[in-house]
Amino acid sequence: RKEVEQDPGPFNVPEGATVAFNCTYSNSASQSFFWYRQDCRKEPKLLMSVYSSGNEDGRFTAQLNRASQYISLLIRDSKLSDSATYLCVVNTMDSSYKLIFGSGTRLLVRP
Partner 1 sequence: DVKVTQSSRYLVKRTGEKVFLECVQDMDHENMFWYRQDPGLGLRLIYFSYDVKMKEKGDIPEGYSVSREKKERFSLILESASTNQTSMYLCASSRPGGGYEQYFGPGTRLTVT
Torsion of CA 22, 38, 56, 110, to 10 degrees: -80
# chain residues binding partner 1, by CB under 8 A: 20
Pick the stretch among 18-26, 58-66, 72-80, 97-105 that binds partner 1 (CB under 8 A).
97-105
Nearer CB in complex with partner 1: 14/43? 43
Which residues from 29-68 bind partner 1, rule CB under 8 A?
31-32, 34, 42-46, 49
84 binding partner 1? (CB under 8 A): no
Q: Name the nearest CA neighbour of 51 among 34, 36, 37.
A: 34
- Pick the binder of partner 1 from 13, 55, 72, 101 (CB under 8 A): 101
Cα maximum dimension of the chain: 45
Q: Which residue's CB is nearer to partner 1, number 70 or number 101?
A: 101
CA distance 39 to 46: 12
- How far is the C-alpha of 82 from the C-alpha of 37, rounded, in Å? 9
Specify which residues 36 forms β-bridges with.
46, 87
> Could you tell me how many helices (H) and strands (E) the chain has, helices first?
0, 11
Question: Would you say 14 or 41 has its CB closer to partner 1?
Answer: 41
Residue 74 or residue 99: which is nearer to partner 1 going by CB? 99
Q: Which residues contribute to the site for partner 1 (CB under 8 A)?
A: 31-32, 34, 42-46, 49, 87, 91, 95-99, 101-104
